[in-house]
Amino acid sequence: MKALPRAALQDQVPAALAIAGVGAVAPQELLDVRAIYRTHGRFVWLSLQRLGVQPADLDDIAQDVFVIVHRRLGTFDRRARLTTWLFGICMRVAANYRRRRRWTREVLAGGAEEERPDILVRREERELAERALGRLDVAKRATFVMFELEALSCLEIAELMNVPVGTVYSRLHGARRQLERTIARDLKKRGMG
Amino acid sequence: MRGTGDGDPARWRADPARRSRGAELLLRGARRPQLPGDGTLERLGTLVDDIPRLSAARARRGARMAAAAAAGVTLVALATGVWAWRGQRRAPPAPSAAGAAGLTVATAPAPATRRAIEAPPAPDVVVAPHAPSRRAHAARAVVETGPSNADALAREIALVDAARGDLAGAPARALVALDAHRREFPRGQLAAEREFLAVEALRRMNRLAEARARAAELEARYPSSSYASRAARLLQAP
């Protein structure tokens, strides 16, 4: 079965923004972290979420990213895409963040106040989904999120992550399999399997 | 938009008949990345606006430390006669290292340089531990009070020459001196030469991606400089 045409998915995705600012950037602009923030701040913000940075930590982690951007601006190869370079930085920062933080229950614990049953079910699903995603490595996670939740094409993902498209396919395949397995196991543990 | 992803697998969302319960749950439960609100974007923007200033302050601290290290390098260079070589190149042949050092003093080096030159030219490990703080003060003076051009140039020359002396044998050490120069004199009179030497140092350390990036930057900033074309040739060589 073929993927849905892009247009059908467009409303779900800030796709244009997801890969915003891929056009040429003037050299002077590149030398300034503030200019990069203005053109690519949203992109970094989205990318960190793709890589598993939790909403509560986004502010701090995004700031870390831009400190590194400022410091490493001199090493940016102008022939490369700025988004690819930025995504690489996001990936390293997110991987460190995850190592530091290790997926813990604190995010998931949330308040257990009384709520309507449908909301409880929804929360449970969110918990299971986020927990399963949290077990993926950052590259697989981002691949899955961009493909399944944001409807980017594998080529676009490959370009962002600076890998061959075959690698995207295999990461996606691995991510799906691992996610389904984790969720099946968790459902079983909760007696919902 | 690049690529339609024709070879892509079907998305779960587009394939309801075949997706598993886990897939269903993931599609419902997983959080899709959200764009930041305007307030968030603006707040973070003000923090980002501060990064260059904060990092310049940190770089100044770093420069003082690197300058201290570079001072050590300069002392070693002195002992090994680099200054003598420089003296020979710049001035009528000097009979000895001490004579060459004298000539260099005449070109008005920074106080710390003068101090270093007055130190015995023989290898002297005792001097090194003391020199850094003096050189550090000199560096701070350069950054904070805006010294005369001659003093600044003398310091530029000292850093770049120290780097050149180390390039073949100790490219990492050369890079320390070049980085100190880059921080203190981002657009100094020897900036193009410094960048060229950095490309060469990185190449020798096999950090080719960085070498190429640096060469590209050199080309962008000093397109007419012969250093830019030399750097490009350097990287083409097998």
Regarding predicted confidence, which is higher, B129 or A157?
A157
Please answer yes or no on whether A77 and B23 come within 8 Å at the CB atom.
no
Please answer yes or no on whether A77 and B12 come within 8 Å at the CB atom.
no
**Which residue of B27, B32, B194 to mutate against A (max A Cβ within 10 Å)?**
B32
Which residue has 């079965």 as its token pair? A1
Answer yes or no: are the C-beta atoms of B231 and B219 closer than 8 Å: yes
Report yes or no on B34 lying in a domain: no
Please answer yes or no on whether A148 and B11 come within 8 Å at the CB atom.
yes
Report yes or no on B114 lying in a domain: yes
Report yes or no on B179 lying in a domain: no
Please return the burial class of B115, using the count of CB atoms within 10 Å of its CB with bins 0-12, 13-18 and 19+.
middle
Residue of chain A minimizing CA distance to B15: A1
Last residue of a domain, one of B136, B169, B202: B169
Chain B residues in contact with A89 (beta carbon < 8 A) = none
Predicted TM-score (pTM) of the model is 0.53
Report yes or no on A7 lying in a domain: no
Q: Provide the residue range defining the domain that includes B204.
A: 190-238
Distance CA B100, CA B118 (A): 12
Chain B residues in contact with A45 (beta carbon < 8 A) = 33, 35-36, 40-41, 44
Predicted local distance difference test score (pLDDT) of residue B193: 87
pLDDT in tens, B185-234: 888 888 888 999 999 999 999 999 999 999 998 888 887 777 888 888 88
Domain count, chain B: 2
Chain A / chain B CB contacts < 8 angstroms: 178
Please answer yes or no on whether A125 and B29 come within 8 Å at the CB atom.
yes
The three state secondary structure string of A31-95 is CCHHHHHHHHHHHHHHHHHHCCCCHHHHHHHHHHHHHHHHHHHHHCCCCCCHHHHHHHHHHHHHH
Closest CA to B174 of B82, B100, B70, B95: B70
CB contact set of B227 (below 8 Å; sequence gap of 6+)? B192, B193, B195, B196, B218
Mean model confidence pLDDT for chain B? 70
Report yes or no on B9 lying in a domain: no
Whether residues B134 and B205 fall in one domain: no
Predicted local distance difference test score (pLDDT) of residue B94: 41
Whether residues B155 and B61 fall in one domain: yes
Chain A residues in contact with B31 (beta carbon < 8 A) = 49, 55, 126, 129-130
The radius of gyration of chain B's CA atoms, rounded to the nearest angstrom, is: 26
Residue of chain A minimizing CA distance to B211: A75
- Closest partner CB to B11 (pick from A33, A151, A184): A151
Closest-CA distance of chain A to residue B174, Å: 18
187-226 of B, contacting A, C-beta below 8 A? 209-210, 212-214, 216-217, 220
Whether residues B229 and B159 fall in one domain: no
pLDDT band per the 50, 70, 90 thresholds, residue B34: very high
Whether residues B59 and B165 fall in one domain: yes
pLDDT in tens, B20-31: 889 999 999 999
Chain A residues in contact with B23 (beta carbon < 8 A) = 176, 179-180
pLDDT band per the 50, 70, 90 thresholds, residue B151: confident
Closest CA to B177 of B76, B98, B58: B76
Closest-CA distance of chain A to residue B166, Å: 22
Domain count, chain A: 1
- At position B54, the amino acid (one-letter code) is L
Chain B residues in contact with A3 (beta carbon < 8 A) = 5, 8-11, 14
Chain A residues in contact with B27 (beta carbon < 8 A) = 148-149
Report yes or no on A6 lying in a domain: no
Report yes or no on B122 lying in a domain: yes
Report yes or no on A4 lying in a domain: no
Whether residues B133 and B201 fall in one domain: no
Report yes or no on A3 lying in a domain: no
Per-residue exposure over B159-180, b if at least 16 CB sit within 10 Å of its own CB, e if not: bbbbbbbbbeebbebbbbbbbb
Whether residues B60 and B126 fall in one domain: yes
Predicted local distance difference test score (pLDDT) of residue B238: 58
Q: Is B9 on the interface with A (CB under 8 A)?
A: yes
CATH of the domain at A185: 1.10.10.10
Predicted local distance difference test score (pLDDT) of residue B73: 57
Please answer yes or no on whether B14 and A3 come within 8 Å at the CB atom.
yes
Report yes or no on A69 lying in a domain: yes
Predicted local distance difference test score (pLDDT) of residue A85: 94
Q: Is B34 on the interface with A (CB under 8 A)?
A: yes
CB contact set of A88 (below 8 Å; sequence gap of 6+)? A162
CB contact set of B116 (below 8 Å; sequence gap of 6+)? B71, B74, B75, B78, B127, B131, B135
Answer yes or no: are the C-beta atoms of A155 and A161 closer than 8 Å: no
Predicted local distance difference test score (pLDDT) of residue A121: 73
CB contact set of B16 (below 8 Å; sequence gap of 6+)? none
Please answer yes or no on whether A130 and B32 come within 8 Å at the CB atom.
no
Q: Is B53 on the interface with A (CB under 8 A)?
A: no
Report yes or no on B60 lying in a domain: yes
Residue of chain B minimizing CA distance to A192: B21
Please answer yes or no on whether B4 and A37 come within 8 Å at the CB atom.
no
Q: Provide the residue range defining the domain that includes A131.
A: 13-189
pLDDT tens sequence for chain A (193 residues): 444 444 444 333 344 344 444 444 445 445 689 989 999 999 999 999 999 999 989 999 999 999 999 999 888 888 888 999 999 999 999 999 988 876 544 444 444 444 566 677 788 888 899 999 999 999 999 999 999 999 999 999 999 999 999 999 999 999 999 999 999 999 898 877 6
Please answer yes or no on whether B36 and A14 come within 8 Å at the CB atom.
no
- DSSP character for A3? P
Regarding predicted confidence, which is higher, A144 or B148?
A144
Residue of chain B minimizing CA distance to A71: B55
Whether residues B230 and B159 fall in one domain: no
pLDDT in tens, B71-127: 665 555 555 554 445 445 444 444 444 333 333 333 333 343 333 333 333 333 333
Whether residues B74 and B143 fall in one domain: yes
